[in-house]
Amino acid sequence: VENVRLLDRLSSRRAVVGTLYLTATHVIFVENGSETRKETWVLHSQISSIEKQATTATGCPLLIRCKNFQVIHLVIPQERDCHDVYISLIRLARPVKYEELYCFSFNPKLDKEEREQGWKLVDLNEEYNRMGVPNNYWQISDVNRDYGVCDSYPTEVYVPKSATAHIIVGSSKFRSRRRFPALSYYCKGNNASICRSSQPLSGFSARCLEDEQMLQAIRKANPGSDFIYVVDTRPKLNAMANRAAGKGYENEDNYSNIKFQFIGIENIHVMRNSLQKMLEVCELKSPSMSDFLWGLENSGWLKHIKAIMDAGIFIAKAVAEEGVSVLVHCSDGWDRTAQVCSVASLLLDPYYRTMKGFMVLIEKDWVSFGHKFNHRYGNLDGDPKEISPVIDQFIECVWQLMEQFPCAFEFNERFLIHIQHHIYSCQFGNFLCNSQKERRELKIKERTYSLWAHLWKNRADYLNPLYRSDHSQTQGTLHPQIAPCNFLYKFWSGMYNRFEKGLHPRQSVTDYLMAVKEETQQLEEELEVLQERLANLEKSQSGNKVKSKQQDRSKQFGLYTSNNSLANTPQEYSSDLKSFPSRSPSQGDEDSALILTQDNLKSSDPDLSANSDQESGVEDLSCRSPSGGGCLPSEDSGKDSDEAVFLAG
């Protein structure tokens, strides 16, 4: 479709005209501008909703909201075209078969061996060994070998040594979806562990001997402690309501030596609505400070984030400081349980705060234990009530921790944002399906590529310059402040307003420091070479001519000194100016507010966008990235598409 206008949400004056293409996998918008021909690529799987708005004089507006929080506002001249695009997108955005997803056609030009290597990058067996199991207390169980006991669990599960197959099977029958207690994290230092399961089918009075023995076995696997915590991550009321359906929670009277604890995290429906409300706030056209803060509070989002953090902090404290093992569950044990276990692991073990460790953590607590990626993130057309930003919340928890502990993580914010992006993109096979079983049946590893290998290859882009493995913040357990520092939880505009670069700091300290560090490394190398050469020269004073290949260092290293800022133009500071008369009568009410930027600017600065680069202090865009190349690492390898639009913006 030609002559489509792409509107900039923040300022209507920055609309661009171009051509819209629909392909089997992407929506592509190509700008008409002769030189740049900027392209915006959006994967169909990223589309969360499409809204056709009432036709106006200029055309038919189409609003595409994406799961990575991009909002694309198009105006298509012909109503008929718009309708066709709308209908096609609705179909394309909701594939019904896995085979339609992008990862089955995506080919990053790697050979078979490289692909296999990629899948081997994260190895959970290795991870459990790193934790220190199997050992005297824990062993691998093959009870779920053919997914015979629990189809949403992995085949290899660690259980206490004293838990026999009989106990495991018995316990599994007493747990929702047969998700019996299994090891999530083992603390080598003091034998305390974090185990996870689903809720018990206790109803009002039911008991299960094997389940009680199972919990006993977990306690025994930690000889240093005479009880375990059982943490139910649901609000008490929800858990009690479940009893009427024959489910529920552990009765302290029936289980010996447990301490039962509720930590109220709301369910997926509350979280879905909360995110929805927060995104509405983010989308407000020119919100006042009150609108924004009030809306943010009203969404409850940060409160939910804090609840998850608090649960993680509680468990980490129990394990690290009290040396007590913890069993965590919610209802099915695949949403809140995954969040809480992974936050606790992250706090406890510095390894998970490294890039590789973080991949392992997601693989362990989310992928292998049957977090329902397909349902939660709507990869295939399904029940909209199953969709919920569960892992988004976990990722935000990590970001909140990074803000509080700036030196503790090996990776940076961009790493988190790109992981979130790919959980929805379906470009890599990692997060397909709802369980390991389904992934094996689909032969994901043979037919798709692994995200982890892709991220690992580009790891230079994801490094936190402040991280040093020998820094004190890097060691041991992290102790975030709990109360009364609520103000520590902040709105993450880098994620939820990710595509509105205008809202973000225009210069990135992280990128700047990375560039400096890279230069430092080169200096170190040069220093070595120079010293060697000097030594040689001193040896042979005779004056052998050493060909000096002096590099033009000032040029090479001068690069980083230019600013890291993104394009920067004034916003519409006068947008609330009703009393200010418009100079061009043809413009409507809304535009009269834009007087300062509309007519005069157009006459004096015919090429605003070219000017804007100047304004930002960016002499050369290529200098922003430490690697010297494109500043934003390619997400769609080669077509770094959805961000390209902002490069020259």
Q: Please give the positions annotated as active site.
A: 330
72 belongs to an annotated ligand binding site: no
287 lies in the site for other proteins, by CB under 8 A: yes
Pick from 44, 49, 42, 84: nearest CA to 63:
49
Q: Decide whether 257 or 486 has the Cβ nearer to other proteins.
A: 486
Q: How far is the CB of 75 from other proteins (least distance, A)?
A: 23
Chain-centroid distance, C-alpha 645: 21
Letters for 512-541 (x = contact with other proteins by CB under 8 A, - = none) are xx--xx-xx--xx-xx--xx-xx--xx--x
Beta-carbon count within 10 A of 551 CB: 11
Token pair 């040396």: residue: 323
Interaction of residue 475 with other proteins, rule CB under 8 A:
no
From CA 596, how far away is CA 531, in angstroms rounded? Answer: 59
Q: Is 334 flagged in the annotation as binding?
A: yes
Determine, following the binding rule CB under 8 A, whether residue 97 of this chain makes contact with other proteins: no
- Find the binding residues for other proteins in span 609-648 (CB under 8 A): 614-617
Among 35, 57, 483, 606, binds other proteins (CB under 8 A): 483
Parallel/antiparallel/unpaired status of strands 228-232 and 258-262: parallel
Hey, what are 181's tokens?
A: 């207690």
613 is in an annotated binding site: no
Note whether 272 and 388 are within 8 A (CB). Answer: yes
Identified binder of other proteins from the candidate list 564, 592, 598, 625, rule CB under 8 A: 564
Residue 123: left (phi > 0), alpha (psi -120 to 50), or beta? beta
Based on the shown chain and the rule CB under 8 A, indicate whether residue 440 belongs to the binding site for other proteins: no
Residue 291 touches other proteins, criterion: CB under 8 A: yes
Scan residues 304-323 and list those touching other proteins (CB under 8 A). Answer: 306
Query: Is residue 558 part of the contact set for other proteins (CB under 8 A)?
Result: no
Of residues 7-26, those binding other proteins (CB under 8 A): 10
Encoded tokens for 613: 């680069």
CA distance 14 to 51: 21
Q: Scanning residues 216 to 255, which ones bind other proteins (CB under 8 A)?
A: none
Residue 56 C-beta-side C-alpha neighbours within 13 Å = 8
Alpha carbon dihedral 86, 88, 92, 96, in 10-degree steps, equals 110
Q: Is 469 helix (H, G, I), strand (E, B) or coil?
A: coil
Rounded least distance, CB 547 to other proteins, Å: 10
Residue 331 counted as an annotated binding residue: yes
Q: Of the listed pieces 25-33, 103-111, 205-213, 301-309, which binds other proteins according to CB under 8 A?
A: 301-309
Q: How near is the Cβ of 353 to other proteins at its closest, in Å?
A: 13
Among 21, 86, 260, 292, binds other proteins (CB under 8 A): 292
Nearer to other proteins, 148 or 570 (CB): 570
Of these, 257, 481, 584, 622, which contacts other proteins (CB under 8 A)? 481
Q: Is 333 marked as binding a ligand?
A: yes
Q: Which H or E run contains 502?
A: none
* 315 known member of a binding site: no
Q: How far is CA 3 from the centre of its chain?
A: 35
**Per CB under 8 A, 270 contacts other proteins:** no
In angstroms, the CA 197 to CA 127 distance is 20
Does position 473 bind other proteins by CB under 8 A? yes
- Cβ–Cβ under 8 Å, residues 632 and 508: no
Give the residue, chosen from 471, 476, 556, 620, that forms a contact with other proteins under the rule CB under 8 A.
471
Among 109, 539, 545, 549, the residue binding other proteins under the rule CB under 8 A is 545
Interaction residues for other proteins, span 393-432 (CB under 8 A):
404-408
We find the least distance from the C-beta atom of residue 596 to other proteins, in angstroms, to be 6
Which of the ranges 71-79, 267-275, 350-358, 599-607 carries the binding residues for other proteins, by CB under 8 A? 599-607
For the purposes of burial, counting CB atoms within 10 Å of the CB of 67, is it exposed (0-12), middle (13-18) or buried (19 or more)? buried
Sequence-distant (6+) residues with CB within 8 A of 119 are: 445, 450, 453
Cβ proximity to other proteins: between 21 and 405 the closer is: 405
Pick 102 or 491: Cβ nearer other proteins: 491
Tell me the number of residues near other proteins by CB under 8 A: 96
- Least distance CB 285 / other proteins (angstroms): 10
Contact region with other proteins (CB under 8 A), list: 46-54, 88-96, 281-289, 326-334:
281-289
101 or 271, CB closer to other proteins? Answer: 271
For residue 571, state whether it binds other proteins (rule: CB under 8 A): yes
Q: 267 among the known binding-site residues?
A: yes
The answer to whether residue 206 forms part of the interface with other proteins (CB under 8 A) is: no
Nearer Cβ to other proteins, position 208 or 466?
466
Q: Which is nearer to other proteins, 1 or 596 (CB)?
A: 596
CB of 253 to other proteins, least distance (A): 31
- The reply to whether 591 sits near other proteins by the rule CB under 8 A is no
Strand 258-262 versus strand 157-160 pairing type? unpaired
C-alpha 154/C-alpha 346 separation (Å) is 21
CA atoms within 13 A on the CB side of 400: 29
Helix (H) or strand (E) holding 504: none
Q: Are 217 and 164 in contact (CB under 8 A)?
A: no
Candidates 160-168, 252-260, 261-269, 501-509; binding stretch for other proteins (CB under 8 A): 501-509
First vs last C-alpha separation in the chain: 23
Q: Is 208 annotated as a binding residue?
A: no
CB-based contact 445:429 (threshold 8 Å):
yes
Of 435, 433, 440, residue with least CA distance to 150:
435
Strands 228-232 and 26-31: unpaired
Under 8 Å CB-to-CB from 469, ≥6 apart: which residues? 410
Out of 24, 54, 57, 289, the only residue in the binding site for other proteins (CB under 8 A) is 289
Distance of alpha carbon 412 from alpha carbon 390, whole angstroms = 21
90 is in an annotated binding site: no
- The amino acid at 139: Q
Can you tell me whether residue 121 is helix, strand or coil?
Answer: coil
Q: Single out the residue of 429, 465, 626, 649 in contact with other proteins (rule: CB under 8 A).
A: 465
* Residue 107 binding other proteins, by CB under 8 A: no
Nearest approach, Cβ of residue 464 and other proteins (Å): 10
DSSP classification of residue 175: B
User: Which CB, 237 or 530, lies closer to other proteins?
Assistant: 530
Which residue is it, tokens 């409850």?
300
Rounded Cα distance, 458 and 460, in Å: 6
CB of 478: closest distance to other proteins in angstroms?
Answer: 9
Binding site members: 267-268, 330-336
Binding site members for substrate: 267-268, 330-336
